[in-house]
Amino acid sequence: MDKQLLLICFLTFVIHLIGTLAYSVRIAGIRTKRIAVSLALFSILVLVSRTSNSFLGPFLAKRVESNLAGAAATNLLWDFRWLLISASIATVVGALLIPTFQRVFCRAVQHFQVHRSIPKLILHGFFKGGLSYVKDVASVPVAANVTALRSGNGVSLSITLLNVAAVALWTVGVFAALYAGALDPSVRVTSSTLSSIINGGATVMMAVFIDPHMSGMTDDVVEGRVSESQFRRAVVWLVGSRLAGTVLAQALLVPSALLIVVVARAL
């Protein structure tokens, strides 16, 4: 694995790590009773994710172009496989960091409620005891949260399966579009713009089914209609389904790329 591929894998890792940690933001919002503030503060990390994503596409496209031009002799399919492996590893790491991140994020919300300043919050996090606080609250997921899954899903089977499908499609969309350009260089420019054919379905599933369900469940916990333990079980199931989605993306990569090639040729 060369340095360029390592960089692209790192960017993929960051994107999926932040996506996994997003589940803990709702837990922090419930604990602090500041859901809107929690989501607003998390937008800072979303900005990091979007910045990583903005570099990921060009770097990966350049790698494909170099391969087609003969300037780099790499197995592009395995390059994409490694990127999907990075997504799966990031999901596992994110799952392990959720308890720690949740506690740190609760502290950040409380600090923001007092000072109402993002710059002060960032300075406090890095220079005024924030890092030492991370060491104090660092913990691994409690085994009871996993064993408690036997008592119920927390979310319905349909939502769980939809999340698997949505994550798989969202993960593989851009990769499939770029790999399609390698499969048929004559339509590679058109193929690179057709990622929405794959991840468009993921966007619909997220916006119509998954996000509204989790938002409603979050409000139910705040209002006392759903217990926090049940909500935690829901988060565990969704994180698990997210990991399953990144694994499923491996199987969808080539078929998705072939579909994009067919559509690109037909346009």
Cα dihedral 45, 136, 33, 156 in deg (nearest 10): 70
Would you call 71 helix, strand, or coil by DSSP?
coil
pLDDT tens, residue by residue, 1-11: 788 899 999 99
Token pair for 202: 């993921």
The alpha carbon of residue 56 and the mean position of all alpha carbons in its chain are separated, in whole angstroms, by: 14
Phi-psi region of 70 (alpha: psi -120 to 50; beta: other; left: phi over 0): left
Measured from the Cβ of residue 89, the count of other Cβ atoms closer than 10 Å reads 17
Would you call 155 helix, strand, or coil by DSSP?
coil
Token pair for 59: 């770097």
Q: Within the chain, where are the H helices?
A: 3-32, 35-68, 76-115, 118-127, 130-137, 143-147, 157-183, 188-192, 196-205, 211-222, 228-266
Q: Give residue 122's pLDDT.
A: 78
Q: CA-to-CA distance for 232 and 225, rounded, in angstroms?
A: 14
Q: Give residue 15's pLDDT.
A: 94
Q: CA-to-CA distance for 140 and 94, rounded, in angstroms?
A: 11
Q: CA-to-CA distance for 174 and 193, rounded, in angstroms?
A: 9
- The DSSP letter of residue 117 is -
Cβ 192 vs Cβ 225: under 8 Å = no
Would you call 156 helix, strand, or coil by DSSP?
coil
Q: Give residue 47's pLDDT.
A: 86
Cβ 35 vs Cβ 218: under 8 Å = yes
Q: CA-to-CA distance for 129 and 123, rounded, in angstroms?
A: 10
Q: Give residue 144's pLDDT.
A: 59
Q: Give residue 225's pLDDT.
A: 85
Q: Give residue 88's pLDDT.
A: 97
Residue matched to tokens 């960051």:
14
Domain boundaries in the chain? 3-266
Q: Give residue 105's pLDDT.
A: 85
The tens-digit pLDDT sequence of the chain (267 residues) is 788 899 999 999 999 999 999 888 888 888 888 888 888 888 888 888 888 888 898 899 888 888 887 755 568 889 999 999 999 999 999 999 998 888 888 888 888 887 778 888 777 777 766 667 777 777 777 665 555 555 555 678 899 999 999 999 999 999 999 999 899 999 988 998 999 999 988 989 998 999 888 888 888 888 888 888 888 888 888 999 999 999 999 999 999 999 999 999 998
Q: Give residue 71's pLDDT.
A: 57
Cβ 51 vs Cβ 95: under 8 Å = no
- Phi/psi for 203 (5° steps) reads -60, -45
In sign, the C-alpha dihedral spanning 98, 101, 162, 46 is negative
